[in-house]
């Protein structure tokens, strides 16, 4: 049995990732801030619910303690929770965006490390973004080059990718990979001034691929559906 925790999984790409991993036989914990929405999502999928706000240390340690007491370990951790804050750029918003998209990764990873170390095949996946890739934002052929309304998001995703890479280096027994899921129609992208995006179902496939790597799978990579991306 593979024990999996996905943060912010009550909707969007996280919810679809939960659905697909459940189909593959994982025991999936849906981490969500809101008890009602989280329990509803878990019940709809046949997943388990754990209350988890990635910006709240006590909530994170309680969530991992709850999983520890039932399962005794964690095999797969998916950092999916994220916010965009399109068009806003001030100090309080910057703190909120970095707290969620970057510091949240540190909080949840640190609380999860003791449980991950008890797994035979521990794997951590960060749903980052190529909006945070220096290669993509400086390449006029890439859509990220033209996205100029979400600088806090882009910078926080650079940090998310870098944290994932640094954990891969410091934790050689655990796989850490970051990914760009592809432009997806979700509540997050509804904030953007343009429409479009593919289904969360399609984007979740890349998350699932990296969440189901075998023991010899890669670590310290940044990928999209086609394979490795430049930083
Ligand atoms: P979404 O808005 O549907 O999902 C985001 C989830 O994060 C929600 O469940 C939300 O409640 C949760 N969340 C936010 N703050 C939280 C907190 N403090 N604690 C716990 N959960 C929290 O958006 P979407 O698109 O499904 O986003 C999922 C991830 O995919 C995000 O990290 C996003 O940055 C990333 N992504 C999305 C892209 C897209 O085109 N939709 C493209 C690239 C990356």
Q: What's the CA-to-centroid distance between 163 and ligand 1, angstroms?
A: 18
- Residue 193 pLDDT: 85
Q: What is the number of the ligand 1 atom nearest to the C-alpha of 197?
A: 40
Determine whether the shortest distance from the Cβ of 181 to ligand 1 is under 6 A: yes
Q: Is 179 in the pocket of ligand 1 (CB under 6 A)?
A: no
Ranges of residues in the chain whose predicted pLDDT is under 50:
none
Q: What is the DSSP string of the chain?
A: --EEEEETTTSHHHHHHHHHHHHTT-EEEEEES-HHHHHHHHHHHT-EEEE--TT-HHHHHHHHHHHHHHHS--SEEEE------TT--SHHHHHHHHIIIIIHHHHHHHHHHHHHTTSSS-EEEEE--GGG-HHHHT-TTSGGGG--S-HHHHHHHHHHHHHHHHHHHH-TTSEEEEE---SB-STTGGGSSS---B-HHHHHHHHHHHHT--TT---SEEEETTEE---
Answer whether 184 contacts ligand 1 (Cβ < 6 A).
yes
Length in residues, the chain: 231
The residue nearest atom 19 of ligand 1, judged by CA position, is: 53
The per-residue pLDDT for 48 is 98
Please state the separation of Cα 13 from the chain's center in Å.
Answer: 9
85 lines ligand 1 (CB under 6 A): no
Report whether residue 54 contacts ligand 1, using a CB cutoff of 6 Å. Answer: yes
**167-197: per-residue pLDDT in tens?**
999 999 999 999 999 999 999 999 898 888 9
Whole-number Å distance between alpha carbons of 190 and 180: 18
Which of the listed residues 51, 63, 81, 222 should we mutate to test ligand 1's pocket, taking the one with most ligand atoms within 8 A of CB?
81
pLDDT given at position 52: 98
Answer whether 128's CB lies under 8 Å from 157's CB.
yes
Instruction: Give the pLDDT of residue 194.
Output: 85
Return the active site residues. 129, 157
Atom 30 of ligand 1, nearest CA residue = 127
Which is the closest atom of ligand 1 to the Cα of 99? Answer: 18
Nearest C-alpha to atom 11 of ligand 1 is from which residue? Answer: 8
pLDDT of residue 195: 86
CA of 133 to the centre of ligand 1 (A): 18
Res 226: pLDDT: 97
132 ligand 1 Cβ < 6 A: no
Residue 38's pLDDT is: 98
Q: What is the token pair recorded at 77?
A: 């951790």
> Which domains does the chain possess?
3-228 (3.40.50.720)
């Amino acid at each position: 049995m593979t024990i999996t925790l996905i943060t912010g999984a009550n909707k969007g790409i996280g919810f679809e990732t939960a659905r697909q991993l459940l189909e593959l036989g994982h025991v999936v914990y849906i981490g969500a801030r809101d008890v009602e929405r989280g329990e509803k999502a878990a019940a709809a999928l046949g997943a388990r619910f754990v209350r988890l706000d990635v910006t709240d240390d006590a909530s994170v340690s309680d969530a991992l303690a709850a999983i520890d007491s039932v399962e005794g370990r964690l095999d797969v951790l998916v950092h999916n929770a994220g916010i965009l804050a399109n068009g806003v750029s001030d100090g309080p918003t910057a703190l909120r965006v970095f707290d969620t998209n970057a510091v949240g990764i540190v909080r949840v990873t640190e609380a999860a490390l003791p449980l991950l170390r008890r797994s035979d095949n521990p794997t951590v996946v960060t749903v980052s973004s190529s909006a945070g890739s220096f290669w993509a934002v400086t390449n006029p052929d890439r859509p990220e080059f033209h996205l100029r309304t979400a600088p806090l998001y882009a910078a926080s995703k650079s940090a998310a990718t870098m944290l994932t890479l640094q954990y891969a280096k410091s934790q050689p027994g655990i796989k850490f990979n970051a990914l760009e899921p592809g432009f997806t129609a979700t509540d997050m992208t509804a904030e953007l001034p343009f429409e479009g995006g593919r289904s969360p179902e399609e984007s979740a496939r890349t998350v699932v691929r990296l969440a189901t790597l075998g023991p010899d799978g890669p670590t310290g990579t940044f990928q999209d559906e086609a394979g490795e991306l430049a930083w």
